[in-house]
Amino acid sequence: MLHPGCFLFPIRTDAGRMLKQLPLVAAFLAVLVGPILLRPKQESAQSGAQTLVVITPHNESIRYEFGRGFEQYYFAKTGQHVKVDFRTPGGTSEITRYLDGEYLAAFENHWRSELKQPWTESIKRSFADGKLKLDNTPADDKPEEAARRTFLASNVGCKIDVFFGGGAFDFTATAAKGQLVDSGYVSGHPELFGDGPGKIPAKLSGEPYYDPQGRWIGSVVSAFGIVANTDVLGRLGLPEPKRWADLADPRYFGQIALANPTQSSSINKAFEMLIQQQMAEEVAAHGENPASLAAGWVRALRLLQRIGANARYYTDSSTKPSLDVAAGDCAAGMTIDFYARFQAESVARSGGNYLRYVNAEGGTSVGVDPIGLLRGAPHPEVGKAFIAFVLSPEGQKLWNWKVGTPGGPGHYALRRMPILPELYETKYQAERTDPEIFPYEMARQFTYHDAWTGSLFRPQAFIIRVMCIDTHHELTAAWKALIDAKFPPAAVAEFERLDFVDYLTAQKKIKESLGPNKMVEVQLAKELADRFRAQYRKTIELAGAK
């Protein structure tokens, strides 16, 4: 399914710029349409082929290469044909909401129709509650505990086999609900997992790489950074950005491309990396204590506020910033690494050499995009085979091998980093599209501290929403007033006043408001957005005062 934002190329009156963009547009359309046209018809039309249903946020090129690769792999292993049916309802956040709804409907039907039990609000809340602890005496279960125990013992499903791609945060939460089950891959391959050289570690850079219970496994590694257009930077007289803080420079006003963190887990993770970096700097200077963490949190929010004030927009598509930076509509943007590298590949194929990507200096961990088997999978054995393929050398080579090399992708250089450590050995460098990148070494340069912000993943997205997105018109107007007035101290102090979204408030009031009662969340969003609007209007008044 193509995202509606995919075709939002700007209409230009400058013929020269239009001609310059034609190769880029053609390359992008090829990326979108090519995989559909190039999918082998004889394989998809095989009568009697099994169907594997995979839900994923991955782009069409990844879906094409892994669909094609698995269909060939499975036939070679079993002599049977399989068709991969990819479902793409949106980004990872949309996928998790979709799964929540499907499992809710399926379990309600199971509870009411098959078990003939009364359905209540407490049952609805508890059956997928990962925090609900169960003892070893089911005979004395309360109804809520019985519902939870029943779900975890059931084969209730959502008509989908495999969840492929997203962030470890979302997979951890999905597993905790009980929606993911052990595929048997971790326990069946002790030689691949654990401590020691050549193994996939349980944790690295502070990030989890697989679930100890085998419910999800990292399939590819990713970092976060900045995509930039050197042509636009040259016109603005700006050096290439290296650190998150560089994007707060007022010379970037109207030139930053950002995605909405409430709709994109990947960009929310990038924002969390920025927050972690600011906290780490405070801890390095003053030691790890509540005051340092609180100060780092506020520093980070002020930085995000300025970057948001420089933003041209917040899109609901996490791929759009790289596209718009490549098109010259923005100078730079925050992104996950592979979106930028993939777009740079398209630009290079059209003869361009102006798109750059850099991991944020000192400001990114190296995390994973997992894969997992869903509870109640209609085709569990085929699902397990798909997971085995993705984690095998045959599947892993698709991520970063050059097109046309033995074992490499058929049509698209995916420019992503495989999780298998063995593929970074010197003997494979000639086959890799990015032979200079060694993510396991990069990961040791930054440590993610889950205790600092792990529980605030949703609250931080909520704060960015009310501080920068819902109020973006007022925010940019206030920032422009500060720039024009050369940042008078009183106006700056008003602009940066964040006492009502500080670290303690985020941990308490805001976090507690983002529960099942959506009305509480809506009311708080309105309250905080109104406060920020008033604050930005006051900033404009102070900036204009003589």
Q: What's the mean pLDDT in 99-106?
A: 98
Cβ-contact 91, 264 below 8 angstroms? yes
- Condensed to tens digits (0 to 9), the pLDDT of residues 402-442 reads 999 999 999 999 999 999 999 999 999 999 999 999 999 98
* Confidence tier at 346 by pLDDT (50, 70, 90): confident
Range of the domain at 248: 224-364+447-544
Confidence at 135, pLDDT banded by 50, 70, 90: very high
Residue 24 located in a structural domain: no
The sign of the torsion formed by the CA atoms of 436, 438, 444, 447 equals positive
Average pLDDT (474-494) is 97
Mean pLDDT of 53-58: 96
pLDDT value for 144: 95
- 282 within some domain: yes
What Cα–Cα distance (Å) separates residue 446 from each residue in 116, 168, 191, 277, 366? 53, 17, 27, 9, 8
- In angstroms, the CA 147 to CA 16 distance is 65
The pLDDT score that the predictor gives to residue 1 is 37
Average pLDDT over residues 453-460: 95
DSSP secondary structure string for all residues of 340-384: HHHHHHHHHHTT---EEEEEPTT----EEEEEEEETT-SSHHHHH
In a domain, 426, yes or no: no
Which residues on neighbouring strands pair with residue 497, listed in sequence order?
none
pLDDT tens per residue, range 261-285: 998 888 999 999 999 999 999 999 9
Q: What is the pLDDT of residue 517?
A: 87
425 within domain boundaries: no
Supply the pLDDT for residue 213: 97
Residues 6+ apart with CB under 8 A from 350: 23, 24, 26, 27
Query: Is residue 43's pLDDT more than 70?
Result: no
CATH code at position 309: 3.40.190.10
Domain tally for the chain? 1
Q: 277 in a domain, yes or no?
A: yes
Looking at the predicted structure, is the pLDDT value of residue 466 above 90? yes
For residue 454, is it within any domain?
A: yes
| 345 belongs to a structural domain | yes
Q: What is the pLDDT of residues 80-94, one digit of tens each?
A: 999 999 999 988 888
- Reading the block at residue 536, the tokens are 């930005």
Output the pLDDT for position 318: 85
Mean pLDDT across the chain: 90
Q: Which of 18-32, 128-142, 389-403, 519-533 has the lowest mean pLDDT?
A: 18-32
Q: Output the pLDDT for position 340.
A: 93
What are φ and ψ of residue 333, in 5° steps?
A: -160, 165
Sequence-ordered alpha helix ranges (H) in 454-546: 457-464, 472-484, 489-495, 503-505, 511-513, 518-544
Grouping H, G, I as helix, E, B as strand and the rest as coil, residue 120 is coil
Has residue 492 been placed in a domain?
yes
Once rounded to an integer, what is the mean pLDDT over residues 294-319?
95
* pLDDT, tens digit, 9 for 90 and up, residues 184-201: 999 999 999 998 889 999
